[in-house]
Chains A and B, each alone.
Chain A
């Protein structure tokens, strides 16, 4: 049954079907032909469930806000400002992108929302400076995923609830690996810029920087309000998404007057299509994961794979593999919810630190989300940038190699995640 399911999905995928079809048809066929007496409407119930999470509402709102800002002047002024300070450095823009995605992603808690909100304006700027589109998109997708490791990470919160680990400890433990990845990405950005000889912009004199700063003052209020609002507790990440729409609207329509009111419905429609294309996949993914759980496939697999008395390191690698593969197909949050209870007891018994395990799991979940052939962030980027699937994944291999290296380091040296905890 497992092979039928995967076989159907891969064949449909390769035939170039819309991605929603393999995700929906796979579980549908299993329910209709392999499970006796099962009411097929369960399929629909789970599709509704998949898109019912309150956290997901942030995604279309950030898409809408980003669409407004990219149609208007906000993002241009913001990036003018950043560019005036780092544009003349090697890989400066790429490093800024990585930092901005990591920062924003940690706040929004959604890797997909980050791809949209930072990725969209930043990509245009990277292209203008001379980056190839494929490397720009790859940089954006992978930087956004690192966000899952930086507090306040929703992935960590869910792991903490499922396991017995402390949320606060997990937050601290995620910082080490997060910073390590950022260092890798920044070094790569520097080398990449040198090898491909990305032209350096001339250094901007301080007086001009001041002018650009003043012009960017209002747009700069955007991150200040969003970040400040969340950290001072004025609003949750989902509400911050709503505020960002309001801010973008006030700025572009009322203050800059760069967008006419009658253009807004068109922008909303475009945001709506992107939302629909992504959410239908999230819905199908939930139906798929329900069938997998109901058939007890994860339990069958762990019995077959783990065997008797495995070592801690072996378990960690197996866990990493399962989460990595799982998150290539399904939303990381769902994978964490389903797989953690299966692996955590075995791992803890073999002597794995539960905090360390959480970091490894969330790390792999983030990595899997950006790894072909599936990966929710790839779909999101494909929809948002209106690029074909192949264009989106073309530039990702170097990042996946870097992330794999870091994940081996994190698995083998538990101090990377635990050293900050030991300091306190």
Chain B
């Protein structure tokens, strides 16, 4: 879209005022819908220094507690995100240039948080059922790296 903005400005001398809005929408959707996918692929950034040097039983406990609390936090934020989105829906606020409903812009946040929370619960379940320490699909334990 940004590319299109430049091209159209170069060619016709006018610009797409909604480019910024579309880009913003894309960023919000990608950021929050990505929570779950990054959780599955183990791509969330964490400071794993202490975790890495912990003995295996500690690791095992953390590998169950951490995804559980993470899911809890995501569900809480997701709940408030529902309220926020509904509040926006009620005021009927629209975006400045395209004038489409602003709630469509932010609805990805509650959805993303809930799907992300479910993914972390799945990670927790895998750790309860299996013996080895499971972090994510592509990361069984940092030791393996």
Residues of A at the B interface (CB closer than 8 Å) are 12-21, 24-25, 28, 40-41, 43-45, 47-48, 51-52, 54, 56-57, 60-61, 234-235, 238-239, 241-243, 245-246, 272-281, 283, 373, 379, 382-383, 386, 388-390
Contact = CB atoms under 8 A, between A and B. Distances in A.
Closest 9 CB pairs of A and B: A276-B34, A242-B2, A16-B51, A18-B44, A279-B31, A41-B84, A242-B3, A44-B84, A389-B47
Interface string B50-69: 11100000000010011001
Interface in B67-95: 69-70, 73, 76-77, 80-81, 83-85, 87
Nearest to B47: A389
B5 A239 contact: yes
Contacts of A389: 45-49
B33 interface: yes
A273 B66 CA distance: 21
Given A18-B45, A24-B77, A276 B51 contact: no
B66 A280 contact: no
**Interface residues on chain B, size class:** 35 or more
A278 B77 CA distance: 18
Given A20-B44, A242-B3, A279-B31, A47 B109 contact: yes
Interface string B77-121: 100110111010000000000000000001001000000000000
B24 interface: yes
A17 to B, nearest CB: 6
Contact of A243 (B6, B23, B84, B106): B6
B5 A60 contact: no
B22 to A, nearest CB: 10
Contacts of A52: 24, 27-28
A51 B106 CA distance: 11
Contact of B66 (A15, A238, A373, A383): A15
9 contacts: A15-B66, A20-B35, A24-B77, A41-B84, A54-B23, A56-B27, A60-B27, A279-B30, A390-B49
A388 B35 contact: no
B52 A388 contact: yes
Given A45-B84, A57-B2, A390-B52, A277 B27 contact: no
A388 B6 contact: no
Contact of A51 (B31, B48, B52, B142): B31
A12 B72 CA distance: 14
B43 A383 contact: yes
A405 to B, nearest CB: 26
B140 interface: no
B43 A274 contact: yes
Contacts of B20: 54, 57
Interface of B: 1-3, 5-6, 10, 20, 23-24, 27-28, 30-35, 37-39, 41, 43-52, 62, 65-66, 69-70, 73, 76-77, 80-81, 83-85, 87, 106, 109, 142, 145
A48 B28 contact: yes
Contacts of B62: 15-16
A238 B2 contact: yes
Contacts of B37: 272-273, 276
Given A52-B27, A279-B30, 5 more contacts: A41-B81, A276-B33, A277-B38, A388-B142, A389-B47
A389 B51 CA distance: 11
A19 B87 contact: no
A135 B98 CA distance: 47
Nearest to B73: A25
Contact of B34 (A28, A235, A272): A272
Contact of A28 (B27, B73, B106): B73
A280 B34 contact: yes
B84 to A, nearest CB: 4
A272 B3 CA distance: 18
Contacts of A45: 84
A213 to B, nearest CB: 28
Contact of B50 (A14, A19, A51, A241): A14
Nearest to B54: A16
Contacts of A279: 27, 30-31
B46 to A, nearest CB: 5
B112 to A, nearest CB: 9
Interface centre among A16, A43, A57 (most CB of B within 10 A): A16
A236 B82 CA distance: 36
B41 A390 contact: no
B30 A60 contact: yes
